[in-house]
Amino acid sequence: MVDVTSQIDSVQRKLGKRVIEAGEAVTATVSQVYDTGLDDLWDACTNPERIPRWFLPVSGDLRVGGKYQLEGNAGGTIERCDPPKSFAATWEYGGDVSWIELRLSPEADGRTRFELDHTAVPNEHWNQFGPGAVGIGWDMMLNGLALHLESGEAADPEAAMAWMTSEEGVRFMTLSNEAWYEADVANGTDAATARTRADATLAAYTAPPES
């Protein structure tokens, strides 16, 4: 069972601007503290047998320089790895290339902080939908990880899809989308533009499936 409000409130979200080789980019950062040790969280995030229990099946060569592919989603190249603290990789989907970096750090109380950056050069899709387009997806990923770490069990893909269309799932996406709207405004986007983008994002996520 997902405590929607608690999970949404457990995540820190922020946007930042940076200049990279590909141009002026925006970085969306999500962060959550989990009630587990550093080594266990690293294993959950990098073990190809464990990743599908909370995220998606992954294939490829999970080492520096190796290629990975998430089933039905992004793939890319692992560019850097510093176990059990961090890794960085390209995030390639639909012909676009962006970059992810995961950082894990121990907290004083024995828990571990998960922090992920997703950096992209804004394109037409970004201009239309804003940060919620990727942000809601990362929020759902963080929720899946929380459920896995709490129960140790694997997620049921069919149940997960059914949950997304449930009242609870729609509420989760709505609250996530609102949080990313606020992050968009805090990053300098005018409120009217940010609201238009957020509304478009939520409509896309909650549209009924095509028959």
Q: Which pLDDT score, from 0 to 100, does residue 32 have? A: 98
Average pLDDT, the chain: 95
Percent of the chain with pLDDT over 90: 88
Give the span between the Cα atoms of 6 and 10, in whole angstroms.
6
Could you read off the pLDDT of 91-142 as tens digits, one per residue?
999 999 999 999 999 999 999 999 999 999 999 999 999 999 999 999 999 9
At 2, the pLDDT band (50, 70, 90 cuts) reads: confident
pTM, entire model = 0.94
- What is the pLDDT at residue 153? 80
- Residue spans per domain, the chain: 4-206
Architecture per CATH, 4-206? 2-Layer Sandwich (3.30)
| Alpha carbon distances (Å) from 145 to 34, 56, 115, 188, 201 | 9, 11, 13, 31, 23
Question: What's the confidence (pLDDT) of residue 207?
Answer: 83
Question: Of 205, 156, 207, 199, nearest to 178 (Cα)?
Answer: 199
Q: Cα angle at 139 between 134 and 145, to 5 degrees?
A: 125
Judge whether residue 88 has pLDDT over 70: yes
Residues in the chain, overall count: 211
Q: What residues does 89 pair with on adjacent strands?
A: 78, 100
